[in-house]
Amino acid sequence: MPGDKHCFVYSPARCQLILSMTEPRAQRRAPVVRAKFTLWQRTALVVAIIVAVVLVYLPAFRGDFVWDDFLLITGNPLLQNFSGLTEIWSGGRTADYFPLTNSVFWIEHHLFGGNATGYHAVNILLQIANSLLVWLLLSRLNIPGAWLAGLIFGIHPVHVASVAWVSELKNLLSMFFALLSILCFLELGEKQLRNSAAVYVSSLVFFALALLSKTQVVFLPVVLLLCAWWRDKKSPGRQTTPNPNLRRDIIRSWPFFLVAIVLGVVTIWFQNRGIGEEGIVIGSLPRRFVNAGMVIWWYAGHLFAPIRLMAIYPTWRFDSPNLLEWLPLIALLGILAGLWRWRNRGTRGAFFAIACFVVALLPVLGLIKMAYVRSGTPVAAHFQYFADVSLVALFSTGVAYLWRQPQRTIRIATAAIVIFLVGVMGTYAFSRTEGYQNEETLWQDNLSKNPDAWQAHIQMAQRRFKQERYAEAAYHAGRAAELKPELADIRNELGLAYCRQQRFDEGIAEYRKALQLKEAKPSTARSASVATIRTNLANALTITAERLSQSAPTVPEEATRRYEEAIRQYESALELDPKQPAIHRNLGMLLVRLGRYDEAITHLRATLQIVPNEPIARQMLDAIEASRR
């Protein structure tokens, strides 16, 4: 705490005791006492942040892969070889465009393989680095309480979703480069900086790397200008002429805006390609603005009161807004206007903090259609990772102001409250990290807080299916189908669970619904997933036809009808996926059963061409050829 009176030494410029962001004008004109950290003080404060972050995230070292980790890492074919690295940067087979993050995943995959501990260790190291950089940046901006802000940022429970979840390496990596970009940009203000061109290029390159890690940082050019505006503040009185330094920074920022626009458009294109024709509801334009206002307050609330945190939050409204729902947005705009109006009378710092918070959230307010809104909510804990820095800094500034008060009782009370809050945050963050141990803990926790999260239900359905707990799998898939009836893949999962319970007629009905949903959209009518659903349907029809035939002296008419439909479904599946050996094999087996050996031989041989050692196809083909000798 006492260290908060000093600034972290970064540049050759002499450090000064920094002024409160909200001090009265008379105090801001007072003389400044020059001081700096001793080496042992700096070392102790750095070690404190490192130890705190490591302690909070200790459970992550025992954690497994969860949720999108299977799509991005363990099941990602692009991570297997060097050609995949080329495709990562070309973007031809990626659902989104963050090639730098995917390249790091590629490196991690070749270093750690399927061991999640290495991936978690990298995330934790980046969180430590980001916490230290937050401290450094706020010190560079002469903001009091910078060290405390770095500590809080490192252990805040809301940030567990960005650290304990391996896929959110993109948050950590992007933040790391964004902070470096800001620091370099601010260095341009140093009067005696000789290598300004190199520093400027470094700032721009770091920003580009941040965007290539995650394009949510498209807001950074605006934040750069806000930081420059804050850094170049003059005397407390009104300025009658434009600030030439700020005008120079605006000119310098245009390449940042250009890069942000280009990669922002690229991301929107990738998002739209990934969404396809899936129905993602974001509401009318008035509803989007209303929700945007509420989202900002929601994130601020969860920063200062992080309770009932979860992976997927309850759904929001997307219908036409009523008048009262406009109040949060109106209040926010009113606060910003008031703070700006009185910026020369003590509210400059508060305006700076809140403006940065709002700007950093602009890309994730639900104003445009993005894939993350498919869950039915525009909010998620990992989306506020970038924005939290400014409000944490505002809180730490208040703490630093109280700490400098001459009354000893105020200092003791302040220290006690801060220590208590840091302890509570660290404890809850530790508990939240345990929630990311594996799929079971993550989704059980989510469903206990939000039982209507359809994504949690389908994830649990897939997990229970792998565990051969088919009744539970059917329950969760059924709930997901109720909550998200337009998704064909959920119907397919439900059909699989029904069939494993020998409820074939119900399974067949679900497969047919899945096909109807897929074929209703031109973009999905001939996809590989349709081939999978047709194969599942054909398998179920074959099994039920065999059961109908078992106790009958001749093949019943219904069984024949099902056999014929199964053949048509297999053939349609092969039109979509002709290199799938399981479809060839199953069709060959069915044709053998029906005595259509010539047709069966074709498919059995096709199976062996793809998988030379497939045992069932080899056995059947040998049996047919032996019978013909």
The rounded percent of the chain whose pLDDT value lies above 70 is: 90
pLDDT(577) > 60: yes
What is the per-residue pLDDT across 344-397, written as a single tens digit (0 to 9) for each?
Answer: 888 999 999 999 999 999 999 988 888 788 888 999 999 999 999 999 999 999
Q: Is residue 395 part of a domain?
A: yes
Q: Is residue 445 part of a domain?
A: no
Q: What pLDDT does residue 27 have?
A: 39
What is the per-residue pLDDT across 559-569, written as a single tens digit (0 to 9) for each?
Answer: 999 999 999 99
Q: Is residue 332 part of a domain?
A: yes
Contact present, 308 and 449 (Cβ < 8 Å): yes
Read off the pLDDT band of 235 (50, 70, 90). Answer: very low
Read off the pLDDT band of 96 (50, 70, 90). Answer: confident
Same domain, 467 and 426: no
Q: Which residues of 380-410 are buried (b: 16+ CB within 10 A; e: fewer)?
A: bbbbbbbbbbbbbbbbbbbbbbbbbeeeeee
pLDDT(481) > 80: yes
Same domain, 402 and 477: no
Q: Which residues of 171-194 are buried (b: 16+ CB within 10 A; e: fewer)?
A: bbbbbbbbbbbbbbbbbbbeeebe
Q: Determine the Cα–Cα distance for residues 194 and 272; give it in Å rounded to an integer.
A: 45
Section 11-21 average pLDDT: 37
Same domain, 485 and 518: yes
pLDDT(3) > 50: no
Q: Name the burial class of residue 556, with classes exposed (0-12), middle (13-18) and buried (19+) by CB atoms within 10 angstroms of its CB.
A: middle
Same domain, 535 and 400: no
List the one residue out of 278, 276, 366, 364 whose CA is nearest residue 318. Answer: 366
pLDDT(237) > 70: no
Section 257-284 average pLDDT: 82
For residue 224, the one-letter residue type is L
Same domain, 171 and 38: yes
> How many domains in the chain?
3
What is the per-residue pLDDT across 140-153, written as a single tens digit (0 to 9) for each?
Answer: 999 999 999 999 99
Contact present, 585 and 604 (Cβ < 8 Å): yes
Q: Determine the Cα–Cα distance for residues 111 and 428; give it in Å rounded to an integer.
A: 32
Question: Which range is least confidently modeled, 1-10, 77-86, 197-206, 208-217?
Answer: 1-10
Q: Which of 386, 405, 439 is the last residue of a domain?
A: 439
Extract the tokens encoding 32. 């400044």
Q: What pLDDT does residue 8 have?
A: 38
For residue 199, the one-letter residue type is V
Contact present, 137 and 183 (Cβ < 8 Å): yes
Q: Is residue 521 part of a domain?
A: yes
Q: Is residue 598 part of a domain?
A: yes
Same domain, 394 and 505: no
Q: What pLDDT does residue 39 have?
A: 85
Q: Which residues of 140-166 are buried (b: 16+ CB within 10 A; e: fewer)?
A: bbbbbbbbbbbbbbbbbbbbbbbbbbb
Q: Give the domain extent around 568.
A: 453-577
Section 300-309 average pLDDT: 94
